[in-house]
Structures are given as C-alpha cells and as structure tokens.
Amino acid sequence: MGQSKLVILGTGGTIAGRADSQSQGVGYKAGQITVQSLLDAVPDLEQQALGPVQTQQIAQVDSKDMDWPVWRALLRACAQALEDADTRAVVITHGTDTLEETAWLLHSLLPATKPIVLTCAMRPATALLADGPQNLRDAVTVAASGGRSGVWVVAGGEVHAAAQVQKVHPYRLQAMRSVEGGPQALVEEGRVRWLVPDASSSPSSRAVLPVPTPSCLLALDELPWVEVVFSGALARASGVDALVAAGVRGIVVAGTGNATVHEGMEAALQRARDKGVWIWRGTRCAEGLPVASGLGSSPAEADLAQLPVAKARIAMMLALAAQPRD
C-alpha cells in the first residue's frame, strides 16, 4: 500500500498575490498565483510533507470577497479529504482578511478526525521577503508531523486554534493572534513544539449551538442573512429597523464594553426580536471577553457572546441554517 497523501487546497489571498515590483507590499492583487506554484517555491516541501502531496485550486479570491460558492467548494473538498482513507491531512492557503471566519466555519462543521491547517501571508508572493513560502512550509510541517486533529491556523511560526485566532493588524507580518491566550504551538526549524496539552476533542472548543450537517449545508444556495451592527456614541435605531425591513434573519451587536447597547438602539432590537429576528450581543473590545450578566435569553447565547463578533456572525448563520423552516 502507498503512503497516504497530504491534500493542499488553494483559495487565493495575499499568499498567492502578485505585485508590479518586489518592493510593493500593498496595492498588489491577491489570488493570482496557483497553489502548485506556491508549493514549487518551497524546495523541500515534499520532504516536510513526509509523503505525496496533491493540490487542488478551489478558488482564486481576495478573501475580503469570500462568498458561499467558495466556502461550499472548500467545505466539500475538506469533507471528502476527511473521508478518504488515503488522505492524512489537509492544508489550505487562504487570505488573512477572513481567515478566522473560514477557520471557524470548518471547526464548527467538520469532525476533528484529521488536521486541517490553514495558512496565509501578509506579503504577496512577489515580495522581496515574502512570508508565504515559510508559512506554507510550516503549515505542511504541522499537518504532516503526526499533527493534532482539528482546525489550525499557521502563520509567523505560530499555530493558533480556530476558536481563538484573530487578525489583529492590517500590515505587520505577525498579524494573526490567539485572543485570550497565546499560540497553541510554535514551528521551529521544521519541527512543531506544542505548548498546550491536546484538547482538540474537548466539547468546549466546539460550536455551542446546533449546526447543520455538512451535507445539509451543502444543499443550500445561500446561508441565512446575518449582519453585525455597531453600538457606540450616537448609535441609532434606524439602521436596525432598515435591516429588519430588508429581511435580515439575525443581528450580532458589537456592543460597548461588557456587550452593552446604546439606549437609542434597544427598542429597535426588541422590535426586531418580536418579529423573530435573532439578536446576539458581543463586545467591540479588541481584547477580553464580556462578563456582564443577561447577555442572551439562553445559556447558548451567553456563550456566544464570548466569541469575537466576526465569528459570532458565522455561528449565527450556521445556527439559523440548522433551524427547521416553516
């Protein structure tokens, strides 16, 4: 029997970006270079992979434009790889901008039976000192080296859990961080050094609300519409009312401090609830978690207030998609 393979899926991003000159670190075009070419830029990639590698170009998008067809194709490819006995692990090249949302989606939906490792770059592939090749090599190392099952993000020599990872800087190389704690592991000279015990099977690290099965989700033409509404000085009701009138199914409020909401918005949120729109509250604070009481009408909603709002929005889409419709 042959060795089991590593599947590498390309979706675009800065890691596959091309600029007009080597010194150009912004203003480049993301999602230009094929995933096979990205692999070719890492000389010892096959050695690091400890076996054969198979690539698949899922998309070539700037991840700010991530849409349901791309997510659906990615989800389908990951689900197939998890079921395929000849596949050991999956690596995904992705843009940094919505990486945490894709990581959360995969983490919420897929069984943690094999490593799924997302990686990215802050500089385009054409840059003088591109970070993509090293990040890709590190991601392959994490996936191949008897890696832990579950969804991981590898960037800047660090390994982050899908539930914690967040993009925290628009430009610097070390742009991905684990909120409320440090990285789970470091990749040093082609070796992974785990900093925490293996908790990939811990229920607390999984989605807290029901999610549809991947096959039910794949049958959908779109995900339920959920928006994030920002509360702050001079916040008004009219934005919430307009969203409800336009048919939004759920609203995540990026609240102040302990997930508090401007009084000018409260009545509109209650009107929305009365019409069946789901409302969750989180915090707009960059660090820490809300500790206020009464964060939701159920324990699950209170738990979801602990998610950064970008992930809470995806969690709400999945939870709405799992609801029976009349």
Q: Which lies closer to ligand SIN via its Cβ, residue 26 or residue 216?
A: 26
Q: Of these residues, 11, 14, 102, 119, which one is catalytic?
A: 14
Q: Which lies closer to ligand SIN via its Cβ, residue 95 or residue 183?
A: 95
Phi, psi of 324 (to 5 degrees): -65, 135
Q: Which residue is nearest to ligand SIN (CB)?
A: 95
Q: Which lies closer to ligand SIN via its Cβ, residue 148 or residue 167?
A: 167
**What is the smallest separation between the CB atom of 71 and ligand SIN, expressed in angstroms?**
14
Cα 232 from Cα 287, distance rounded (Å): 17
Select from 47, 53, 130, 140 the least CA-distant residue to 93. Answer: 140
Tokens of 292: 């206020």
The b/e string for 242-260 (b: 16+ C-beta within 10 A; e otherwise) is: ebbeeebbbbbbbbbebbe
CB-based burial label for 191 (10 Å; 0-12, 13-18, 19+): exposed
Residues 6+ apart with CB under 8 A from 262: 231, 232, 233, 234, 235, 256
Cα 105 from Cα 91, distance rounded (Å): 15
Q: What is the DSSP string of 147-212?
A: PPSEEEEEETTEEEETTTEEE--SSSS--EEETTS--SEEEETTEEEE-S---TT-GGGS-SS---
Q: Which residues pair with 56 in a beta bridge?
A: 9
Q: Which lies closer to ligand SIN via its Cβ, residue 46 or residue 65?
A: 65
**What is the smallest separation between the CB atom of 97 and ligand SIN, expressed in angstroms?**
3
**What is the smallest separation between the CB atom of 288 and ligand SIN, expressed in angstroms?**
25
Q: Are 107 and 151 in contact (CB under 8 A)?
A: yes
Q: Which lies closer to ligand SIN via its Cβ, residue 98 or residue 200?
A: 98
Residue in this structure with the two tokens 């993000």, named with its chain if needed: 153
In the annotation, is 14 catalytic? yes
**What is the smallest separation between the CB atom of 24 and ligand SIN, expressed in angstroms?**
14
**Residues found near ligand SIN in the complex (CB under 6 A):** 12-14, 30, 62-64, 95-97, 120, 122
**What is the smallest separation between the CB atom of 173 and ligand SIN, expressed in angstroms?**
10
Q: Which lies closer to ligand SIN via its Cβ, residue 112 or residue 127?
A: 127
Q: Which lies closer to ligand SIN via its Cβ, residue 12 or residue 224?
A: 12
Residues 6+ apart with CB under 8 A from 4: 51, 85, 86, 87, 88
Distance (Å) of CA 63 to CA 31, 98, 146 = 9, 6, 29
**What is the smallest separation between the CB atom of 12 and ligand SIN, expressed in angstroms?**
6
User: Cα–Cα–Cα angle for 301, 303, 309, nearest 5°?
Assistant: 80
**What is the smallest separation between the CB atom of 156 and ligand SIN, expressed in angstroms?**
12
Q: Which residues are catalytic?
A: 14
